[in-house]
Amino acid sequence: MQDQKYKPDYDALIPELRLWNAGKGVDIDGWLAGVGSYEHAVAYLRLFWPAFTVHEDCVLFADFNLESFRGFMEQTIGDKRRVEVVMNHHHILDLFPNVPQEPSKDLILHLGRALKDIWSCKLKHDFPTRVITVSFPEDETEDLRDYEITFFQDQH
């Protein structure tokens, strides 16, 4: 039996699917064909297959802010693992700050789990000799903003 995280209930995660086709609904592929674009796909690649870099032995998103890096290095007294954790973290809820209504917890968890898997693959692909952990804690919380993802090297 396949793991459920790979067989999402798109109707539950994307309520809009049921509204399409004069209320008859549409499947995920039909919806993507109707609302998606090549430009959207390229933009989403930035999130799902990001560029990473190494700076002073820290693995970071390629577009990291050098001044922030220096500030965190100073604050942590050179603790590279802590610097990676904070510089690489994203609150899932903040990925799309302008949506009209807050997403469901199930949607946040599904997206966080998928990002964890994807970033793990990408980091292993880009840095095969480094041991990098992608963390997405799923502890029970009432505040969806508490769900965040980050990555860091284990050897720091």
Query: For 33-57, how does the pLDDT look when each residue is reduced to its tens digit (9 = 90+)?
Result: 999 999 999 999 999 999 999 999 9
Longest dimension (CA), the chain: 60
Give the chain's mean pLDDT: 93
pLDDT of 22: 87
Q: Which residue is it, tokens 């964890």?
A: 116
Q: What is the pLDDT of residues 103-137, one digit of tens each?
A: 999 999 999 999 999 999 999 999 999 999 999 99
pLDDT top residue among 143 and 4: 143
Better-predicted residue by pLDDT, 5 or 150: 150
